[in-house]
Structure 1
Amino acid sequence: MKAMVVKKSWFSSILEQREVKKPKIKDDEIMIKVSAAGVNRGDIIDVVASDEGVCPGLECAGIIEAVGRNVNCCKVGDKVCAILEGGGYAEKVAVPANLLLPLPDDIDLEAAAGLPYASCSIWSALFEMCDPKTLKDKKILIHEGANGIGALAIQYAKHMGLTVIASTGSRDKFSMCRDYGADFCFDNTSTNFVEEVVGSAGCLGVDFVLDYGASNLRRNIECCCTGGKVVIVELHGKECGRIDLARLQQHHTEITVFDLQSRDLDYKASVIAEVRTHLWPAILEKKVIPAVGNRFAMIEAQKALDLLKKNDGTGKIILYMDFEKTSGHLKGE
């Protein structure tokens, strides 16, 4: 089968197309014929850190082609998406059955490829330790609300009854955040950052903050009410941030840096089960929709990663299954 794999040189690591062996499924696995793969920051790390010939890809969507003898939760022909341990940038991938999420027959499989990894990250980072029944009327600040995770987080938060304050680095993206359900929007480059957030949330501040990197850490803490939680889901290479420990102690603020990729399979399977119960009904009922930005042919995977590195796009970057044609990047509907 065809796959995009790591090619090493003295000065760089890039992706190139190669013919590789088709994977074999174990008794508790299924084989997915990949229709599309979501592009994640962890894929960039994998390309740099992995050995020659490794195929990246942390999520995909497609059609089940074969099932292991112990699998009874799905059947050949079902449309599914899944989080992966790598291997999504290929025509086929073997996946443990407990890492699957079902999809309706009429869904756009390309768009669905961007759902599983972000959904699992949002649930684990923000809501895993919460009783969903207690989330109504809570307030959340979601940074970069127009990007792949941010747009999905806005929708999930609204579905669970939270008031959403979304930030972007550009006022041009406010309308997009509002379309996804944000109640308030503000420019995160503003000098009145904290005042705008607290003013929108009320005098007590927000209960949750979702951010990328630590450059806003001090101000995020100041935006929290007593017992608030600041979650950093991707460091983006911005590991440094200043913390006022006295404020943390006084307001009992929790700070979490979350990375789904580094967790073991048992943990990921438990998250998939929670997502299936608490978030996935909103996907199946189309109350939450994929936030797609740019779509690239699979053969253009390196271009997709280069675009992600720029960190200025909107929506999720998707690789659709085509190893022959190059199309440039096309804005999703």
Structure 2
Amino acid sequence: MILSPYFVLPCWKSTSMKAMVVKKDWVSSSLEEREIKMPEIKDNEVIIQVCACGVNSGDIIDLVTCEDGICPGLECSGIIEAVGRNVHRWKVGERVCAILEGGGYAEKVAVLENFLLPLPDDIDLHDAAGLPYASCCIWLALFKVCNPNTVEDTLKDKRILIREGTSGIGSLAIQYAKFLGLTVIASAGSSDEFSLCHDYGADFCVDHTSTDFAWEVVTKVDYLGVDFVLDYGASDLQRNIECCRPGGKVCIVDLHGMVSNSIDLAMLQKRHAEIKVFDVRSRDLGYKASVIAGVRTHLWPAVLKKNVIPEVGNRRFAVTEAQKALNLLQKNDNIGKIIVYMNFEKTSHHVKMD
């Protein structure tokens, strides 16, 4: 057969991509690199070329509970590569970060258009991967206890205790709280961590290893107690209640499988305090969209003005080392957020990307 000089060979577009997926065996689960099917875009979705992905406790849960071949990852940052026919808010080439239904540990991911948050050029695209999930948790756990329409007026001049102030959520919560005008007390376990919390904007720091922890908190605010306590888990629920003023609220972000110890219900009743537990991961799509809309309206201006900057330090891993990142998260002694970036080359350097 003789080909015409005008015959053009078809340009085949790849239908697969690299991803880190759950590998199941008889006794354990782990992550391994595989080629998986490229995501297909729907009319109300965008395709993101993933730059980096934030590491969350939900990823550990997915590793244990999901079937073989499932790609974890609940938040990411990246560049929009394609938009669905009904998407008008976003354009190809825009820098964004997003909440995901999984699939972040991959080269590309399909995301509903109302799950995105914009990123200006002067925000580090890798570090921004740690913003969406924590921001949504903070909005739910703290700011949803107020009337969303008057949240700024409701929170101004209130007092908040933020537990684990150097954690991924704690470091962001301090910055958001200061942006909205609250007096912030942060708990930490060492003088070095106190210094970090002050750098984030905390007004006071207290040692959560102290037996007089609750008393130290109360004395910081003229013996009145705090209006809000924000905690990640419920291992210290009783002392959180003791820190509250009458009518105070203990806001718990995701129990992540933790069972609380017994609490003094009489004290809870005497103080007219409330305990509220919030979770983003298990909610339906409509609810998540409403949470992201709240973040976009009330919290995201702080990010766009760079009043809030994600704390990552040197906790950056290539995605091929995602298992190491999850192991580090399980130790629960990291400072700030842990990030995996989409570099499928075999590399072991964990320094900040330029």
TM-score for the superposition, normalised by structure 1: 0.97
Q: 8 Å contact 1:292–1:332 — kept in the other structure?
A: no
- Residue 257 (structure 1) shift: 1.9
Aligned residues between the structures: 333
Q: Which of 310, 315, 321 is the equivalent residue of 2:331?
A: 310
From 237, 243, 256, give the equivalent of 1:223.
243
Partner of 1:34: 50
- Residues 220-265 of structure 1, C-alpha deviations (whole Å, 9 max, x = no match): 1010011111112133543122222122222221112221100111
Structure-to-structure mapping, 1:44-193, within 5 angstroms: 44-130=60-146, 131-193=151-213
Which residue identity does 1:19 align to in structure 2? E
Counterpart of 1:320 in structure 2 is: 341
**Residue in 1 that maps onto 2:273:** 253
Q: Which residue of 1 aligns with 2:290?
A: 270
**Residues 271-325 of structure 1 deviation map (CA, whole Å, 9 limit, x = unaligned):** 1111111000110111111111300001100000000000001010000110113
Find the aligned partners of 1:142 and 1:250 in 2 and give their Cα distance: 23
Deviation at 1:168, TM superposition (A): 1.1
Structure 1 unpaired stretches of 5+:
none
Q: Is the 8 A contact 1:197 1:205 kept in 2?
A: yes
Kept after mapping to 2: 8 A contact 1:155/1:181: yes
How big is the shift at 1:106?
Answer: 2.4
Normalised by the length of structure 2, the TM-score is 0.92
The 1-side partners of 2:21 and 2:328 are apart by 18
CA distance in structure 1 between the partners assigned to 2:290 and 2:271 by the alignment: 31
Greater C-alpha radius of gyration:
2
How far the C-alpha of 1:129 sits from its partner, in A, is 3.3
Q: What SS does the corresponding residue of 1:53 show, helix, strand or coil?
A: coil
Tell me whether 1:299 sits opposite 2:320 in the alignment.
yes
Partner Cα separation in structure 2 for residue 234 and residue 296 of structure 1: 25
CA distance in 2, matches of 1:286, 1:212: 24
Q: Is the 8 A contact 1:171 1:186 kept in 2?
A: no
Distance (whole Å) between structure 2 residues aligned to residue 325 and residue 202 of structure 1:
55
Counterpart CA distance in 1 for 2:125 and 2:316 is: 12
Match of 2:10 in 1: none
Kept after mapping to 1: 8 A contact 2:135/2:295: yes
**Distance change (3 Å), C-alpha of 1:324 and 1:128:** same
CA distance in 2, matches of 1:101, 1:258: 21
Q: Per the alignment, do residues 90 and 217 of structure 1 end up closer, same or farther by CA in structure 2, a change over 3 Å counting?
A: same
Q: Does structure 1 retain, via aligned residues, the 8 Å contact 2:126–2:353?
A: no
Counterpart residue type for residue 297 of structure 1: A
CA distance in 2: counterparts of 1:143 and 1:332, whole angstroms: 29
Superposed CA deviations along residues 97-128 of structure 1, whole A, max 9, x for unmatched, are 00000110222110000000000100011112
3-state SS of 2:239 partner: helix
Residue 23 of structure 1 is aligned with which of 26, 33, 39? Answer: 39
Match of 2:6 in 1: none
Once residues 190 and 28 of structure 2 are traced to their aligned partners in structure 1, the CA distance between those partners, rounded to angstroms, is 33
Q: What amino acid maps onto 2:210 in structure 1? A: S
For 2:335 and 2:296, the matched residues in 1 are separated by 26
Within 2, Cα distance between the matches of 1:125 and 1:223? 17
Asked if the contact 1:34/1:321 (under 8 Å) is kept, the reply is yes
Secondary structure at 1:153 match in 2: helix
2:328 maps to a residue whose letter is: L
Quickly say closer, same or farther: Cα 1:32–1:332, change in 2 above 3 A.
Answer: closer
Cross-structure match for 2:13: none
TM-align CA RMSD: 1.3
Given candidates 23, 26, 30, the residue that maps to 1:10 is 26
**Structure 2 counterpart of 1:305, which letter?**
L
Identity of aligned residues (%): 71
Tell me, what secondary structure is at the counterpart of 2:145? coil
Q: Give the C-alpha shift of residue 216 in structure 1.
A: 1.1
Rounded to whole Å, the distance in 2 between the matches of 1:159 and 1:72 is: 31
Q: Distance between the aligned counterparts of 1:213 and 1:239, measured in 2? A: 9
